[in-house]
Structure 1
Amino acid sequence: MDRNNALTDPKKLVRVELKNAGFDIDKIKIPDRVYLLADDIFDEMVSRNVGEYRYPLGGKLYVFNKNENIGFIKGHMCSPAIATQAEDLIAGGVKELIHVGYAGGLQPELVLGEIILTDGAFNDTAVARLYGYDYDIIHSSKDLTNEIEEMITSAEILYKRGFHWTTDAGYRETWGQVMDYRDKGALCVEMEGVGLFTIANYRKCVATGIYVVSDVYLEDDWKLGWEGNDIKKAVGEIIDMIIKSIR
């Protein structure tokens, strides 16, 4: 046996977990597209009563009432966790993964509540290397990102599109790193993008990410946005956009 062959198969475990919950993976309809929503973004979607919890897959997988081929779930935090979650979802049959999360703004012109659509992430993680993707940038899926961009522009939402930085250390962004990634053109920093995009590439699926700027890095300050309404407004716009797109 090749020493590099993985001994594990996520579909084998997912099959057992679903069976234990009373589901036959070969007979149920898992959504093709799933939105992985961070923390209170997920809570806001649930509060809209637009879907129902259906399957214990990658967490609690909800299905939209108007289209059972599209679902949403609370996204896990950090690249290793969301990578494992993505493995489970893909093993269950999901083909498209869209992360909606929070990020720290790197470029000085970014403001709290700004929305960023990513073309991929500068890789500052371990999980990509372990999957054989030890590259400087792990790209999101261009066609899916273009589709989401069309949704955003149709909803008349202001946004920026470009690359960002994924780190494994959420409280260790240094001023030197911020300057370096600014020079590379990174718009923001978060902890999940590389993990998600690595698995999508590895499993021949597609993924992209939308980020709300929740804080901004300045030379002499860390500006937080949780006390105002800018973040809440941006989250509401994204939730409205997703719901409106469900047909």
Structure 2
Amino acid sequence: MITTPSACIQAEEGSVAKAVLMPGDPLRAKYVAEHYLEDPVLFNSVRNMYGYTGTYKGKKISVMGSGMGIPSIGLYAYDLYSFFGVEAIIRIGSTGAISENVNLRDVVVAMSASTNSNFAVQYGFQGILAPTANYEMLDYAVKAGQEIGASMKVGPIYTSDMFYNADPGLNQKLRDYGMLCVEMETAGLYMTAAHLKKKALGLLTVSDDVFTGEELSVMERQESFDEMMKIALETAWKTID
């Protein structure tokens, strides 16, 4: 095993690819590895946060769970970037639609991620840090989505520290300021990547609508997830040298 300061990832040297797909659920990481990668090998199981490396079109790609919320994805992303040679992380997850122009099953490409988290205070940044995606990866994702005819939306999203927010007017405020959707991890990933001078992108499948209460069935979620995975894999493949 590599000797690193990481208490959460134990992996053999060279076992993690330069590009990592990162769903929140570690069991979803296992599913991705088994269904989308060739010859996947488990490289981490500490705290049951499964990480796998396989190949896609001849290139090594990894997938690993991030857990839920900014603190969790911030921890795992930091360790992957800092100790295991990772250059790019693509968050793949579900999201709730906020904008009237975002529909169920859309794939949202997060151009930026506003947040109510205090995560950025650690950087001593004067003003408000505006975390954004890596443009190269964003461009790859948009083109990959266009090639398969996916319904995509590109724009700002909102990352919340709270799943249940006590402010009854928050969702309308987010809509008024142009947020496409709400989730719980992307801003933390973008901030960590910026701090470490690495690459990051958030790809999100719209599974429900915050205002109408509509939500996808299990089958519809899987079909939409497949589109997001194709986009993520193509983006990772193009990002790797």
The TM-score, its normalising length taken from structure 2, stands at 0.82
SS in 2 for 1:233: helix
State whether residues 144 and 234 of structure 2, in contact with CA within 8 Å, keep that contact through their aligned partners in structure 1: no
Of 111, 118, 125, the residue aligned with 2:110 is 118
C-alpha distance in 1 between matches for 2:145 and 2:193 = 22
State whether residues 20 and 86 of structure 2, in contact with CA within 8 Å, keep that contact through their aligned partners in structure 1: yes
Of 32, 43, 53, the residue aligned with 2:41 is 53
Compute the displacement of 1:29 (Å). 5.1
C-alpha distance in 1 between matches for 2:173 and 2:71 = 24
- Which stretch shifts more, 143-152 or 58-67? 58-67
Confirm or deny that 1:78 pairs with 2:69. yes
Confirm or deny that 1:205 pairs with 2:192. no
Specify whether residues 243 and 140 from structure 1 end up closer, same or farther in structure 2 by C-alpha distance, changes over 3 A only.
Answer: closer
State whether residues 8 and 76 of structure 2, in contact with CA within 8 Å, keep that contact through their aligned partners in structure 1: no
State whether residues 212 and 235 of structure 1, in contact with CA within 8 Å, keep that contact through their aligned partners in structure 2: yes
Specify whether residues 17 and 86 from structure 1 end up closer, same or farther in structure 2 by C-alpha distance, changes over 3 A only.
Answer: closer
C-alpha distance in 2 between matches for 1:174 and 1:238 = 31
Confirm or deny that 1:163 pairs with 2:156. yes
- Which stretch shifts more, 198-207 or 58-67? 58-67
Provide structure 1 residue ranges, at least 5 long, that are not aligned to the other structure. Answer: 1-10
Q: Give 4+ residue runs of structure 1 displaced > 6 Å after superposition.
A: none
User: Equivalences for 1:1-247 in 2 at 5 Å?
Assistant: 12-14=4-6, 18=10, 23=12, 25=13, 28=14, 30-39=16-25, 41-48=28-35, 50-51=37-38, 52-56=40-44, 59-66=49-56, 67-91=58-82, 92-133=84-125, 135=128, 137-172=130-165, 174-218=167-211, 221-225=212-216, 227=217, 229-242=219-232, 246=237
SS in 1 for 2:105: coil
C-alpha distance in 1 between matches for 2:45 and 2:196 = 17
C-alpha distance in 1 between matches for 2:95 and 2:226 = 16
What percentage of residue pairs aligned between the two structures are identical? 20
Specify whether residues 179 and 147 from structure 1 end up closer, same or farther in structure 2 by C-alpha distance, changes over 3 A only.
Answer: same
State whether residues 107 and 205 of structure 2, in contact with CA within 8 Å, keep that contact through their aligned partners in structure 1: yes
Instruction: In structure 2, give the amino acid aligned to 1:55.
Output: F
State whether residues 166 and 191 of structure 1, in contact with CA within 8 Å, keep that contact through their aligned partners in structure 2: yes
Count of residues in Structure 1 that have an aligned counterpart in Structure 2: 228
SS in 2 for 1:186: coil
Specify whether residues 235 and 12 from structure 1 end up closer, same or farther in structure 2 by C-alpha distance, changes over 3 A only.
Answer: same
Provide structure 2 residue ranges, at least 5 long, that are not aligned to the other structure. Answer: none
C-alpha distance in 1 between matches for 2:5 and 2:158 = 32
Instruction: In structure 2, give the amino acid aligned to 1:171.
Output: Y
Higher radius of gyration, 1 or 2: 1
